[in-house]
């Protein structure tokens, strides 16, 4: 397969009043994962030039299954700040940087500055 799962369709709306098809999960070491461009939460607009608008879920799945070896996807990237199901990545992380990636270096710099200030004052 292509290495990802989809949700949505006219009969299984993932988001109210939106029958679009979304990437719900990217399978580790699958084709999509190894390619690296597709992300969970992306809206898939077309497969090999075929528009996915107003399709039932099973018809969209069938399009992916019959897409062949060379697959072209037209996608719309999910918004990083969006709340709700599309923003959920399913792996316990939200989009963007984890808080620790910002706080740890900042705290380390602050601690170093305090240490330097104290050492400088002791010499005076």
Token reading at 13:
């709306």
Q: CB neighbours of 46 closer than 8 A, spacing ≥ 6?
A: 52, 73, 74
Residue 93 pLDDT exceeds 70:
no
Is 50 inside a domain boundary?
Answer: yes
Q: What is the pLDDT of residue 118?
A: 79
Write out the residue range of the structural domain in which residue 47 sits: 2-74
Is 88 inside a domain boundary?
Answer: no
Q: What is the pLDDT of residue 91?
A: 44
Mean pLDDT of 13-32: 93
Contact 81, 36 (CB under 8 A): no
Domain count, the chain: 1
Residue 107 pLDDT exceeds 80:
no
Is 85 inside a domain boundary?
Answer: no
Interval 67-91: pLDDT, tens = 988 889 999 997 655 555 544 444 4
Q: CB neighbours of 96 closer than 8 A, spacing ≥ 6?
A: 80
Is 113 inside a domain boundary?
Answer: no
Is 89 inside a domain boundary?
Answer: no
Is 62 inside a domain boundary?
Answer: yes
Is 25 inside a domain boundary?
Answer: yes
Is 82 inside a domain boundary?
Answer: no
Q: CA 81, CA 88: separation in Å to the nearest integer?
A: 11
Residue 25 pLDDT exceeds 80:
yes
Q: CA 75, CA 38: separation in Å to the nearest integer?
A: 8
Q: What is the pLDDT of residue 20?
A: 95
Q: CB neighbours of 57 closer than 8 A, spacing ≥ 6?
A: 6, 7, 8, 9, 10, 11, 12, 21
Q: What is the CATH number of the domain that holds 70?
A: 2.30.42.10
Q: CA 109, CA 50: separation in Å to the nearest integer?
A: 52
- Mean pLDDT score of the chain, rounded to an integer? 81
């Amino acid at each position: 397969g292509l290495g990802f799962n989809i949700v949505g369709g006219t009969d299984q709306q993932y988001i109210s009043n939106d029958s679009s098809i979304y990437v719900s999960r990217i399978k580790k070491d699958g084709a999509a994962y190894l390619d690296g461009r597709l992300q969970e939460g992306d809206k898939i607009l077309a497969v090999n030039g075929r528009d996915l608008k107003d399709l039932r879920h099973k018809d969209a799945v069938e399009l992916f299954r019959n897409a062949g070896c060379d697959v072209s996807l037209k996608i719309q990237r999910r918004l990083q700040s969006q709340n709700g199901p599309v923003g959920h990545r399913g792996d316990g992380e939200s989009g963007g940087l984890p808080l620790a990636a910002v706080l740890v270096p900042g705290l380390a710099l602050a601690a170093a500055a305090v240490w330097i200030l104290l050492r400088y004052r002791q010499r005076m």
